[in-house]
Amino acid sequence: MRDIENGQFSLAVFWERRARRILPPLFLVILVILVLGYYISILPETYSKLGESVFAQSFFASNMYFMRKEGYFAAPEDTFPLLHTWSLAVEEQFYVLFPLFVLLFARSFLKLRWAIALLGAMSFLVSVFLANYNPGVGFSIPLLPDVWGYATNSSAAFYLLPSRAWELCLGVFLALSPKKGPGGGWTSEMLGVAGLAAILAAIFLYDDQVPFPGMAAVLPTLGAAAIIAANTQGRTWVGQVLSRGPAVWVGVLSYSLYLWHWPLFVFAKQAFWEPLGVWSMLGLTAGAFALSWLSFHYVETPIRRKRFLVGRPRVFTSSAVGLVMLGSFGFAIYLAEGVPGRAPESVQPFIAAANAIPENRDRCFKVSPKVIGEKGPCFLGDDSRKQSVDFVLWGDSHADAWRPGLEQIASKHGKSGAFFGEGGCVPVLGVHRDPVSVECQKKNQLAMDYIQEHDVSVVILAARWSYFIIGRPSGGKDSLIAEAGQPVTNPEDSQRALRQKLGEMVGKLAREGRKVWIVRQVPLMYNALGKRVNFQKLIQETAVKGDLVDVDGPTSSEHRSYHAEANQIIKSIAQKPNVEELDPSKVLCKNKSRCQFMDGKNILYRDDNHLSVFGSINISGIFDPVFTGRIRKAILGRERPGDSWEDY
């Protein structure tokens, strides 16, 4: 800022300072992460994604990478050691463009300040629009190709520079403003306390259901600005607290601490796959501080103070070489598909099950409603009969997991079908999750329109039904549904919504003379304590043992208990004319003790709730009745007393 005020601002000097400050510790941390990941992230997919993220960060574009990955099939956060670098990417993008903005208005300091204010205001409006209005809509930019993957307006608001720049602009505006505080005394004290209170309120009152940034970001951002403004003409009480030794020491280490803390916690979770206890958390925190102190004193400080890399050309050359090398390492890991040969032979079945995904997934499942509308759905079964579709498979990712098995059975019977699916999207019209997913609603409507326009005679509905009406086995309720126009409240209301709206939709299809098959949910690989099957842990145990480690799946009674509400809804609807249900647990839990996770040396699941390709094909015989006519008499039109659709 002094350079700007004195008219001595230089792009080369500015970027040299940024490079000296940011890049050396970043290079060190990424290099350590790649080495640790080689030994700890045994699943090739996990290590491949690490390579992708390293490649993205070498261009300071990891925010865009993680935005594209966000969605139902995004890997859990504890598999991304570089997830935290999204904010560094946003900051560096800002500081690449900001100096050019400064040069544009360099002749007028006042114009520069108000230009920054205008830029910040525009960014804030973008943030509010994306985060608070239609956050569930798939993100896109007019006239540009659709390259945003699973990104929604909500994730774009969180990750992208245009929606976060206003927070940085506010800091710049304060720095460019005259150094005049609010007048000192109680005015400054009250402003400082108000700022601190705003930050604390955001910390304790916000949860993961609060749309952010958008309007919610105003509270902590203005809180920080208030503390800065209150202390421009002397220390307030809040300023004195924040200026004491411990707080200053943490501030000095803040950048190195920012870089080290997240990878340590991620790799600890990957290595042990057990909930981290208090002592583990404290130990990891101490380790993060220790590594931060070392990297600050022996990497960050010497280079920043020009004890090494003296001269600007050396800094720029070293920075470029470092970015290219790390980016190349990351891209090579991605091209090598996570280097699967790292793992011992004993764990290869787990790796094969985890990595195998249904064919043509990019065309069948990871496809936007716009593409489906233009090119039509993907097809299953007999290729020679694509012009005459016999059935539609419609559902969420569980329906996608059934695709390989259903395709094989359909081909055997000379039948063809179309597939409509969206992750985390219950195949029911007239319901929604919070936030509303417009993509889900569009795909569901496309499926219904296709069924009616092509007069499809058989409809197969498959989903993780319990997920939408009772929540996750771990207790999370973010997956619950509600009727359109109603707020998502509790599992009981979600169950009523599913019973009513699934019944209405199936009734409509059945009255039109179509046969509807509802597939019950496969057993979740959770036991009575809520512990789930974890591939990473299984792989590590198998590697140590040298032989496959089998899994105690849920007992039959545990499975029935967890899915009781969903199965009762499905059963009641399946009593109606032209409707049948299919129950995969009759195969997977046939021994009446525990539901199968493995069949010999073959693994039936690819995670704790989706069938593997082998599992889908192995039990695909449950779909034989769909094509052979071995069904209840009721489906042929002979209603039993009370089994009409008048209730819907």
pLDDT tens per residue across span 187-226: 889 999 999 999 999 999 998 778 899 999 999 999 999 9
**pLDDT greater than 80 at residue 371:** yes
301 Cβ contact list (under 8 Å, min separation 6): none
pLDDT at 534: 67
CB 28 within 8 A of CB 294: no
Residue range 376-399: mean pLDDT, rounded = 84
**pLDDT greater than 70 at residue 74:** no
pLDDT tens per residue across span 507-553: 999 999 999 999 999 998 875 445 566 666 777 777 666 666 667 78
Query: By C-alpha distance, which of 306, 386, 357 is closest to 606?
Result: 357
pLDDT at 384: 63
Q: Round the average pLDDT of the chain to a whole number and report it.
A: 86
Query: By C-alpha distance, which of 271, 266, 259, 264 is closest to 287?
Result: 264
Confidence of residue 421 (pLDDT cuts 50, 70, 90): very high
Dmax over CA atoms of the chain, in Å, equals: 91
Compare 171 and 45 and report the one with higher pLDDT: 171
Alpha carbon separation from 2 to 10, 14, 172, 285 (Å, rounded): 12, 12, 13, 37
**What is the torsional sign of CA 383, 389, 393, 397?**
positive
pLDDT at 48: 92
pLDDT at 382: 65
**pLDDT greater than 80 at residue 331:** yes
**HSE-up (13 A, CA, CB side) for residue 506:** 33
Residue range 389-393: mean pLDDT, rounded = 93
pLDDT at 105: 75
* Least reliable range by pLDDT among 362-376, 530-544, 555-569: 530-544
Q: What angle do CA 461, 466, 467 make, to 5 degrees?
A: 100
Residue range 320-334: mean pLDDT, rounded = 96
| Ranges of each domain in the chain | 2-342, 359-523+554-588+613-636
pLDDT at 290: 97
**pLDDT greater than 80 at residue 83:** yes
pLDDT at 634: 32
Tell me the Cα Rg of the chain.
28
Confidence of residue 145 (pLDDT cuts 50, 70, 90): confident
Whole-angstrom distance, CA of residue 363 vs CA of residue 359: 9
Confidence of residue 641 (pLDDT cuts 50, 70, 90): very low
3-state secondary structure of 580: strand
Whole-angstrom distance, CA of residue 239 vs CA of residue 234: 9
Confidence of residue 134 (pLDDT cuts 50, 70, 90): confident
pLDDT tens per residue across span 456-477: 999 999 999 999 999 887 777 8
pLDDT at 646: 57
pLDDT at 528: 46
**pLDDT greater than 80 at residue 561:** yes
Question: Helix-strand-coil percent breakdown of the chain, rounded to 5?
Answer: 60, 5, 35
Whole-angstrom distance, CA of residue 413 vs CA of residue 620: 13
Residue range 233-237: mean pLDDT, rounded = 85
Whole-angstrom distance, CA of residue 531 vs CA of residue 277: 16
- Which helix or strand (DSSP H or E) is residue 282 part of? helix 278-295
pLDDT at 175: 85
End-to-end CA distance of the chain: 69
Confidence of residue 592 (pLDDT cuts 50, 70, 90): low
pLDDT tens per residue across span 24-36: 999 999 999 999 9
Q: Phi/psi of residue 580, each to 5°? A: -135, 160
* Least reliable range by pLDDT among 82-86, 350-354, 611-615: 350-354
Burial label, 73 (beta-carbon count in 10 A; 0-12, 13-18, 19+): middle
pLDDT tens per residue across span 346-362: 777 877 787 777 777 77
Compare 276 and 68 and report the one with higher pLDDT: 68
298 Cβ contact list (under 8 Å, min separation 6): none
> What phi-psi label fits residue 435: left (phi over 0), alpha (psi between -120 and 50 degrees) or beta?
beta
pLDDT at 488: 87
pLDDT at 365: 84
**pLDDT greater than 70 at residue 182:** no
Confidence of residue 7 (pLDDT cuts 50, 70, 90): low
Whole-angstrom distance, CA of residue 520 vs CA of residue 576: 16
* Least reliable range by pLDDT among 33-37, 172-176, 248-252, 314-318: 172-176
| Whether the model pTM is above 0.85 | no
Does the structural domain 359-523+554-588+613-636 have CATH classification 1.10.260.40?
no
Whole-angstrom distance, CA of residue 437 vs CA of residue 16: 44
Percentage of the chain beyond pLDDT 70 is 88
pLDDT at 364: 85
Confidence of residue 181 (pLDDT cuts 50, 70, 90): low
* Least reliable range by pLDDT among 15-24, 336-345, 549-558, 582-591: 549-558
CB 471 within 8 A of CB 424: no
